[in-house]
């Protein structure tokens, strides 16, 4: 499986500011995704990070609030903009790779724990 | 099945017992499902997956059962160990690779 790292691992931010989260994979992957996990809850897909084109957002998530970049096949960023306390969550990136001839299994990074005060 | 809301279902077992965690899904067209384990402070860890052309798949100490008739998925853990204590999520992979829809999760606690 791919090794995925995220930076920062956690942060405490003031409302109204923005935070950019980085996701780095140790091998080229076909697809990268960003999820949000609110406290004590399950994971919700924010968007699919497309290499070389605009991200594909799920219902309820917009580019102005969560701009995403994916400049190459191993790296992506998610920005949480104009933060409010409701944005306090764990943000996770995941990747899907067919490099090993696998079936499209998705693997997750360790997450970024964001607290907005 | 998994509940919807802020309170996750819980399962408490003794070390050495077998555990069964259940999950219901809603999309009858879905053909790919995954079970994840999430320990405190970590990202979800892939456990096992299954495709809709199978009704059972076995891994190391784990078995996933798929009942498409009632849209139900279960994860069986044999000889449960304290290290198995975590939140377990099922995920519905739909009909194409990519988007995963997660269930609400079940908290498994294994007592020594």
- Residues of chain B whose beta carbon is less than 8 angstroms from a beta carbon of chain A are 6, 8, 32, 34, 36, 41-46, 49, 51, 89, 91, 93, 97-105
pLDDT recorded at residue B7:
64
pLDDT in tens, A39-88: 889 999 999 998 888 999 999 999 999 999 999 999 999 999 999 999 99
The DSSP bridge pattern shows strands A10-13 and A75-80 to be unpaired
pLDDT recorded at residue A103:
58
pLDDT recorded at residue B96:
66
Structure tokens, A79: 């920005």
Q: CB contacts < 8 Å between A and B, how many? A: 58
- Contact between A56 and A47 under an 8 Å Cβ cutoff? The reply is yes
C-alpha A89, offset from chain centre: 12
Structure tokens, B65: 């059962």
The phi-psi region of residue B69 (left if phi > 0; otherwise alpha if psi is between -120 and 50; otherwise beta) is alpha
Q: What is the mean pLDDT of residues B33-53?
A: 94
pLDDT in tens, A78-96: 999 999 999 999 999 999 8
C-alpha A41, offset from chain centre: 17
């Amino acid at each position: 499986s791919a090794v995925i790292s995220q930076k920062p691992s956690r942060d405490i931010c003031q409302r109204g500011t923005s935070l950019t989260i980085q996701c780095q994979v140790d091998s080229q992957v076909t697809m990268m995704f960003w999820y949000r996990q609110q406290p004590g809850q399950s994971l919700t897909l924010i968007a699919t990070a497309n290499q070389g084109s605009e991200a594909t957002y799920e219902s309820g998530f917009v580019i102005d609030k969560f701009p995403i970049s994916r400049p190459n096949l191993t790296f992506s960023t998610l920005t949480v903009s104009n933060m409010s306390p409701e944005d306090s969550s764990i943000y996770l990136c995941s990747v899907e790779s067919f490099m090993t001839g696998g079936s499209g299994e998705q693997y997750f990074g360790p997450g970024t724990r964001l607290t907005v005060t | 099945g998994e509940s919807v809301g802020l309170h996750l279902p819980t399962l408490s077992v003794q070390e050495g017992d077998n555990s069964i965690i259940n999950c219901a899904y809603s999309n009858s067209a879905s053909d790919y499902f995954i079970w994840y384990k999430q320990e405190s402070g970590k990202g979800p860890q892939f456990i096992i997956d299954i495709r809709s052309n199978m009704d059972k798949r076995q891994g190391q100490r784990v078995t996933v059962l798929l009942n498409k008739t009632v849209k139900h998925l279960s994860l069986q853990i044999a000889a449960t160990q304290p290290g198995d204590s975590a939140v377990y999520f099922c995920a519905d992979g739909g009909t194409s690779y990519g988007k995963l829809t997660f269930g609400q999760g079940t908290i498994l606690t294994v007592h020594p």
